Amino acid sequence: MSLNDLEKRVYDEVSQYLGKDESGHGMDHIERVFLLAFQLAKEEVIDRDVLGLIALLHDVDDAKLFGEEAAKELRQAKIIMQTCQIKADRQAQVLAEIRRIGFKKRMRGIVPISIEAKLVSDADMLDALGAHGILRTYDYGKSQNHIFFDRDCFPSNDPLYPTEPSINHFLRSYCV
């Protein structure tokens, strides 16, 4: 993974925070999203720093892991950007876009606005597909003490249902 100086500083801060995550939102996920977002951006005119910041920071305050308050306030993302001396206007731009990224948000019609955030959102969604997606679904369910499969519990009509077996999320999201 080729990082510029700013990205390296932010990456190091994020890895201190998410480095031991076992919910499918750890550094391996962050790295895949970062790399894929830049691959998707090859033919686009983008602000590299904005794309990199959004990709590296998009899960540091994830509601599933840290609660709704953290997701609303984005405290950890703010702390990391302040530590890395990101200018206030750039911080505001990045935070506004991070607030618009995520599966639940997309299901509610909340979508990114900037090209950089759209690319990160697409990369994040793509990382939820295939073998990585299956493993991340399993890892997240395990981290939340959800059972993986229950033959008597079919996928809910509510796509945001939080406690059903992990396989139901996969089935509802990717097989319907």
pLDDT in tens, the chain (176 residues): 678 999 999 999 999 988 887 666 789 899 999 999 999 999 999 999 999 999 999 999 987 777 888 888 999 999 999 999 999 999 999 999 999 998 888 888 999 999 999 999 999 989 887 776 776 666 666 666 667 666 676 666 655 556 666 666 666 665 55
- Cβ contact 70:89 at 8 Å: no
Asked whether residue 113 is domain-assigned, the answer is yes
Q: Are residues 79 and 134 in the same domain?
A: no
Asked whether residue 51 is domain-assigned, the answer is yes
Asked whether residue 125 is domain-assigned, the answer is no
Asked whether residue 141 is domain-assigned, the answer is yes
Residue 168 has a pLDDT of 67
Residue 167 has a pLDDT of 64
Residue 48 has a pLDDT of 97
What length does the chain have? 176
Residue 62 has a pLDDT of 84
- Rounded Cα–Cα distance for residues 124 and 138 (Å): 17
Q: Could you give the number of structural domains in the chain? A: 2
What crossing angle do the helices spanning 5-18 and 48-57 adopt, rounded to 10°?
A: 10
> What DSSP string describes 23-86?
SS-SHHHHHHHHHHHHHHGGGS---HHHHHHHHHHTTTT-HHHH-HHHHHH-HHHHHHHHHTT-
Containing domain of residue 53, as a range? 5-120
Q: Are residues 28 and 56 in the same domain?
A: yes
Q: Angle CA(36)–CA(42)–CA(48) in degrees, nearest 5?
A: 80
Residue 141 has a pLDDT of 67
Q: Are residues 44 and 115 in the same domain?
A: yes
- For residue 112, how many other CB atoms are within 10 A of its CB? 22
